[in-house]
Amino acid sequence: MPQGLQLFPQQASTIAKHVDWLYFFLIAVTIFFATLVCVLVTFFMIRYRRGTKVDRSNPVNHSTTLELLWTGIPLVLAMVIFAWGAVLFYAIQTPGQGAMEIYVVGKQWMWKLQHPAGKKEINELHVPLGKRVRLTMTSEDVIHSFYVPAFRIKKDVLPGRYTTLWFEATKLGTFHLFCAEYCGLGHSRMIGRVVVMTPGDYEKWLSGGGNEEPLEVSGERLFQRLACATCHREDSKGRGPTLAGVFGTSVRLKSGASVVADESYIRESILEPQAKLTAGFDPVMPTFIGQLGEEGIIQLIAYIKSLARKPDSSAPPTPPTSH
């Protein structure tokens, strides 16, 4: 189709055509019923206009068949749309294993993105073709929304918590990135682009220019500088729990409840250590509010994650649930 006649933006991710099929279905249903109503209104208007000699005696005031039909058909249609939408929503929510991780921080008025190898970008995201990319997103100030129409993905980016999105690009090229939530005076300028490259070009781009260090290395330095290691010791004799292997596991809390140690839990435990205290430990950790920006917190999380990936042999990860 010529560019000007396109109904939707081009499809450039694995999920795009599935989202479009649902929209086509919704449009088809809408057109069908809108046409039906218009045709009937016109037909009755002409047939029963004043002065025509049509039979107006004995008006129908009840028809069980009709009532069942106009209740049943919309019910079935609504359920089809619900089930279809739910399946798609679930697929969009679940990145699956082995996705490449990108951290996104929104602020008035720009997007700050960081690759696992440490490379940073502003308002621009370079990704390899055909690889799953998972975005972990947060905001430094107000609510923003990360929106790439060609990928059919959009999600709010919120201060004080992490939201995630994933996509797998299927086309090379450059695609619009928008902020889709009014976030103040510069909202309309909060735009950028996603550049999809071949995996080879992406590797070249990653290694080119600059001496970035991986996020987890920056995180480890921060961990030392803030003296986290004095309490979170590797030998589990510290005043805080050992962090090796903790990411992604279930943590038993003092309150008796359990929580999965994900990004949000670690973030909360850095800023509000007493909110969800690990069982067996005293509330001695100070808050780090005001000492760490969102990017610092992300670095620390990357470091703690890396501990989970390659556990030190001297400190084998013990499942905290067996307590």
Which chain residues interact with ligand CUA by CB under 6 A? 106, 109, 144, 179, 181-183, 187, 190
Q: Which residues partner with 313 through β-bridges?
A: none
CB nearer to ligand CUA: give 190 or 307.
Answer: 190
CB of 144 to ligand CUA, least distance (A): 3
Q: Which of 238, 239, 235, 259 is nearest to 247 (CA)?
A: 259
Positive or negative: CA dihedral 215, 220, 221, 227: positive
Least Å distance, CB 215 to ligand CUA, is 23
Query: Residues 250, 276: contact at Cβ < 8 Å?
Result: no
Q: Which amino acid is at 282?
A: D
**CB closer to ligand CUA out of 104 and 261:** 104
Give the residue among 60, 209, 189 at the shortest CA–CA distance from 123.
189
What is the rounded CA–CA span in Å between residue 176 and residue 123? Answer: 10
Minimum distance between the CB of residue 164 and ligand CUA, rounded to whole angstroms? 18
Contact (CB, 8 A) for 155 and 144:
no
Start-end of H helices in the chain? 16-47, 64-93, 199-207, 215-225, 263-271, 294-309
- Shortest Å, Cβ 152 to ligand CUA: 19
Please, what is the minimum distance in Å from the beta carbon of residue 194 to ligand CUA?
A: 16
Q: Which is nearer to ligand CUA, 106 or 118 (CB)?
A: 106
Q: Which of 144, 232 has the CB closer to ligand CUA?
A: 144
Nearer to ligand CUA, 109 or 151 (CB): 109
In angstroms, rounded to a whole number, what is the distance separating the alpha carbons of residues 294 and 123? 17
Residue 185 CB, shortest distance to ligand CUA, in Å, is 10
Nearest-approach distance from CB 136 to ligand CUA, in angstroms:
17
Looking at residue 10, the DSSP 8-state letter turns out to be P
Indicate the residue among 138 and 218 with the shorter CB distance to ligand CUA: 138
Give the Å distances, CA to CA, from 247 to 131, 149, 262, 320, 322: 24, 33, 6, 11, 16
What are the b/e assignments for 173-200, b being 16+ CB within 10 Å? Answer: eebebbbbbebeeebeebebebbbbeee
Nearer to ligand CUA, 109 or 202 (CB): 109
Q: For ligand CUA, which is the closer residue by CB, 179 or 302?
A: 179
From CA 263, how far away is CA 242, in angstroms rounded? 17
To ligand CUA, the closest distance from the beta carbon of 138 in angstroms equals: 13
